[in-house]
Structure 1
């Protein structure tokens, strides 16, 4: 592995020949995606894309979860302003452009999902080319209970009926269900997930890298001709509009007054899941 930029929020290793691995490393926050972490994920992926010794990259999370979603704590760090311009919808455009930018990398990126993969975490996984999950993972978008998704992948990956059910309830899928419904490629027991994902990566990197990269593009170009990229980008406007809705404002005000944990517990109480499960 060549000399790389210093990272504070991700771990980098090369666990097998031609395979780079990027591990989200905020386990105490269930790998909540604040701006510095998002920036480092994308930087590490771009670095791997330019490394001739890498043919595929795995993204996973340290601790109990892949990622519980976006960190709702305000971040005003001037060095993490994003590239999508200012004005209404800036955050939504920025995160979606980031995850969709994974599509534009030459080399395949694999999401290795365990534990919670919620909201922004599911968007990160969606941006990856392949998704392998633990059977008991929980994948969903509970934030639809007070707002609209930033990256609206649901109809494209799950089909209209399952997508509609998930965005109207905020319910989560298990890893097994995610495979059955088309969100993920394969599900494995959590204890063997590392081993199984490395085995799949090992198969992929046997392909000549120039052919591998062209084959990645064929699938993405087909999805783009069907309108996936433009539809997801258009969805950021609906997400931005939702931040002006009464429901969104009420949730954010509750989070400010009582704390985020209590606001989330209240949000999920009627559904018997999330922080209220068990």
Structure 2
């Protein structure tokens, strides 16, 4: 059974078979992110993470775009503030932006970005914050910040080099190059390209594959593996030991062992 609940105005959440689909729902603005939408997005990811019935999450967009980036009207309003307040106001907005990205990246469950159209600037940054990316054929992606005289502020400078390597990340950011799905797949920016008309079906099937195991083990693995580029091998081993000790105590582990031994005894 598929049920849908609309959060106020700009985000829609649906749940089906343990997979929550969070949709950026501002299609008339190409799903550009404004302050209210960001707050609703944070709430949606926080709720999905806390819901024990949800095992995986898909992030997608309504209409023809995934997300065109930050709302330009909001940028203009920021510039109209008194000159002595621009920097501090910008700093506060950046904290809000980073809370949104952290809400996506920090979820304890697998997250798939299902790019259904253009993903530019902050939109692409948000997709990169997800664990996996699948894109519909015909989608376009660009680290477009430089065209606005800005740096990548939604985590792209952290996530992008981890996907495509440092030189390629610099090239994509400095040039603001627009990429089609074939090139994005070839360089590892995205992981899969969906068949025409099948984006959400394929994303949902993939999410089901990724969530068949122990939710506890997946959450602990995700938290540790996301730190492997910053930590030494011994630090990762230590985190793994602690996580494994937790797994030893779970009902999921006990049942898996008992089921395996019972199968051998037959």
2:211 to 187, 198, 205: 205
Q: How many residues get paired?
A: 217
Tell whether the 8 Å contact from 1:30 to 1:63 is kept in structure 2 after alignment.
Answer: yes
In structure 1, stretches of 5+ residues that fail to align are 77-85, 227-278
Indicate whether 1:47 and 2:43 are aligned: no
Q: Distance in 2 between matches of 1:66 and 1:29?
A: 11
Indicate whether 1:169 and 2:175 are aligned: yes
Aligned to 1:73: 73
Q: Distance in 2 between matches of 1:195 and 1:155?
A: 29
Q: 1:160 to 1:93 in 2, by over 3 A?
A: same
Task: Give the match's secondary structure for 2:67.
Answer: coil
Q: 1:133 to 1:41 in 2, by over 3 A?
A: same
Q: Distance in 2 between matches of 1:116 and 1:122?
A: 9
Structure 1 window deviating more from structure 2 (177-186 vs 33-42): it is: 177-186
Aligned to 2:151: 148
State the Cα RMSD in Å.
2.5
Indicate whether 1:196 and 2:202 are aligned: yes
Normalising by structure 1, report the TM-score.
0.71
Q: Deviations over 1:118-148 (max 9, x none)?
A: 0010111111111111232111122212222
Tell whether the 8 Å contact from 2:14 to 2:22 is kept in structure 1 after alignment.
Answer: yes
Aligned to 1:92: 94
In structure 2, stretches of 5+ residues that fail to align are 78-87, 233-266
Q: Distance in 1 between matches of 2:70 and 2:230?
A: 26
Aligned to 2:27: 27
Q: Once the 2 structures are TM-superposed, how far is the Cα of residue 166 of structure 1 from its aligned partner?
A: 1.4
Q: Deviations over 1:152-202 (max 9, x none)?
A: 233332212322221221112222222221222211234111111111011
Q: How does 1:128-143 map to 2 (within 5 A)?
A: 128-143=130-145
Q: Distance in 2 between matches of 1:135 and 1:2?
A: 28
Q: Distance in 2 between matches of 1:135 and 1:177?
A: 11
Q: Distance in 1 between matches of 2:203 and 2:3?
A: 23
Q: Once the 2 structures are TM-superposed, how far is the Cα of residue 2 of structure 1 from its aligned partner?
A: 10
Indicate whether 1:11 and 2:12 are aligned: yes
Task: Give the match's secondary structure for 1:132.
Answer: strand
Tell whether the 8 Å contact from 2:20 to 2:57 is kept in structure 1 after alignment.
Answer: yes
Normalising by structure 2, report the TM-score.
0.74
Structure 1 window deviating more from structure 2 (217-226 vs 132-141): it is: 217-226
Tell whether the 8 Å contact from 1:136 to 1:176 is kept in structure 2 after alignment.
Answer: no
Larger radius of gyration: 2
Task: Give the match's secondary structure for 1:66.
Answer: strand
Aligned to 2:105: 103
Q: Once the 2 structures are TM-superposed, how far is the Cα of residue 207 of structure 1 from its aligned partner?
A: 1.3
Q: Distance in 2 between matches of 1:196 and 1:143?
A: 30
Tell whether the 8 Å contact from 1:144 to 1:167 is kept in structure 2 after alignment.
Answer: yes
